[in-house]
Amino acid sequence: MAVFAVSLFVKIPFLAAIHGDPAFVLPIVDSLEFHSWAREIMLDWAGGWTAIKTHPPLYAYFVAVIYSAIGYSTLAVAAVQYVMFSISTALVYLISARLFGRAAALFSCALMTFYWFFLCTQSFLYSENLSLFLNLCCAACLLFMADSRKKFIISGVLLGLSAACRAEILVVAALISVWFLAGAGAVKNPVKAYGLFLCGVALALAPVMARNYAVSDRLVFRSLMGANLYLGSNPAFNGTSVFLETGKQWKDFMAIPDKAANKKLTDLENDRYFIAETGRLIGKAPRAWAKFAVSKITAVWTGTEFLRTEDVYVLEKYFPARPYFRLIRLELIFVSAFIGMVFSFSRARRFLLAYVFILSWVVFVVFPLKTRYFVPVLPFLILFSGFGLARLYEALRRRQLLAASAAGGVIIFFLLLAAYNPLKPQAPDASETYYAIAKNYAEMGDEESASKFFLACLRLNPGNSSAMNDYGALLMDAGRDTEAVGYFKWALEADGADQLARDNYEKCLEKIRAAGRG
């Protein structure tokens, strides 16, 4: 209860700081997708969606339930997620105390509570928040419930529900067979138990597959899998999609298959194209791809953060004046986790369940890297981080210089590896966040606020043709045609292939000519 209370209490100052922020009050980018989908679900709870979406559906239903109970309030969603995360932190304490001891559990809880990115993600509409909670509930169920048919079905359902938030966690359904069959869970009949677990997973996912089949005649879990595979496997994109933000950049990327086929392709044809291109890319230069895959693994295991524009916006706006919000960084978690794992190998079977969840990250060898994607499984790495810090503290307290020196060597090795990191990802600026906020204000008819954020976007990224065009459209709708035509012209100078900007430019010129004739 103390762990729960502390975890919940430390979030209150951050919520007080951001509660009036336009990126918080009016959802943007991924958060906007879930917000819009939740409102769609509220109109038809049984149907929910009429086309295959880019995300699994459970989180949208979660948001819809909160909206139904309280109203369209992102503050309410954040409050519910803070409570869930505080429960998750308490579960981390219980799991860590069971596996590693109370000292390690306390260190783990400190990392959970003060890691800055958790604070950030839990405040917004991200499916990873619900997936994290469900993953820990699944693990707690397997570790603490007495063996029974109910235990294995319930734990399978929990993992299936997590996959209905974040599809990549399905890898655990295959990897966890090792935990069952190796006897790590002391299960009397591991084959039967694993079968019941898979039945639970299938039971949770059946409604999603059935609905997707009903709207598409195809057994597909979600769309854009091919595009994400291509992004994550192509060295040209540096292993991440953080630079392909909203607006024309993303549209141009998704139009690659249409241009190659010289026609508009269906979602299925789009996926097939990207999957085939990924195969050709790897087959053409397998050594280069293998080197790239090692680079991605190195980036992950040195705690490199892959931030999106929304993350950068929050980090730059709220953390400099409040350094206590950023006490823990990802590098510390990964370095201490490596130390903990080294110490854990002598009793590896005891910790196999945590290994399994961490190994699910193997999918990111071929999918894009993004810090938010790691969130659902990060608590399992933090278990080892807490263990590593506890062992280091114990070695220093007892003056065990050999063990302390070995741990220090590991830390130095990781720092050197991080400095060498061949991917060297650079975080994008916050311009796309300003652009998304401006579009929200424009749709609300708030010209003054929209103008402010369009101009903020263009100051950071003067080459953003989407922002130029949309700001020009805002000015044209307000009757400021002379100013608007300049932005349309600027957009065409930045991207001559932007047909929307060209159409708006010609329309605006015609209005100016008509006014002159009048």
pLDDT in tens, 30-42: 899 999 999 999 9
State if pTM tops 0.85: yes
pLDDT digits (tens, 9 = 90+) for 332-344: 898 889 889 988 8
Query: How far, in Å, are 2, 10, 12, 101, 382 from residue 5 at the CA level?
Result: 5, 9, 11, 21, 19
pLDDT digits (tens, 9 = 90+) for 450-498: 999 999 999 998 888 889 999 999 999 999 989 999 999 998 888 887 7
Is the model's pLDDT at 185 over the cut of 70?
no
What pLDDT score does 245 carry?
A: 59
Considering only residues 413 and 460, tell me which one the structure prediction assigns the higher pLDDT.
460
User: Among candidates 449, 372, 371, which has minimal Cα distance to 20?
Assistant: 449
Total Cβ atoms within 10 A of residue 166: 25
The CA R_g of the chain, rounded to the nearest whole Å, is: 25
The band of 247, judged by pLDDT with boundaries at 50, 70 and 90, is low
pLDDT digits (tens, 9 = 90+) for 257-275: 888 888 888 777 888 899 9
Q: Can you read off the two tokens belonging to residue 161? A: 């529900």
DSSP state of 186: -
Contact in structure between 495 and 487 (CB atoms under 8 Å): no
Contact in structure between 169 and 159 (CB atoms under 8 Å): yes
How many residues in total does the chain contain? Answer: 518
What pLDDT score does 415 carry?
A: 74
pLDDT digits (tens, 9 = 90+) for 426-454: 778 899 999 999 999 999 999 999 999 99
Q: Of all residues in the chain, what percent carry a pLDDT higher than 90?
A: 54
Rounded Cα distance between 93 and 89, Å, is 6
Give the mean pLDDT of the chain: 89
Tokens 């980036």 sit on residue:
299
Total Cβ atoms within 10 A of residue 21: 16
What pLDDT score does 248 carry?
A: 64
Q: Which of 64-78, 261-275, 399-413 has the lowest mean pLDDT?
A: 399-413
pLDDT digits (tens, 9 = 90+) for 368-397: 889 999 999 999 999 999 999 998 888 888
Is the model's pLDDT at 100 over the cut of 90?
yes
The terminus-to-terminus CA distance of the chain in angstroms comes to 74
Rounded Cα distance between 284 and 480, Å, is 53
* 162: helix, strand or coil: helix
pLDDT digits (tens, 9 = 90+) for 111-170: 999 999 999 999 999 999 999 999 999 999 999 998 899 999 999 999 999 999 999 999
Map out the domains of the chain with their CATH numbers.
Answer: 2-218+301-420 (no CATH), 431-517 (1.25.40.10)
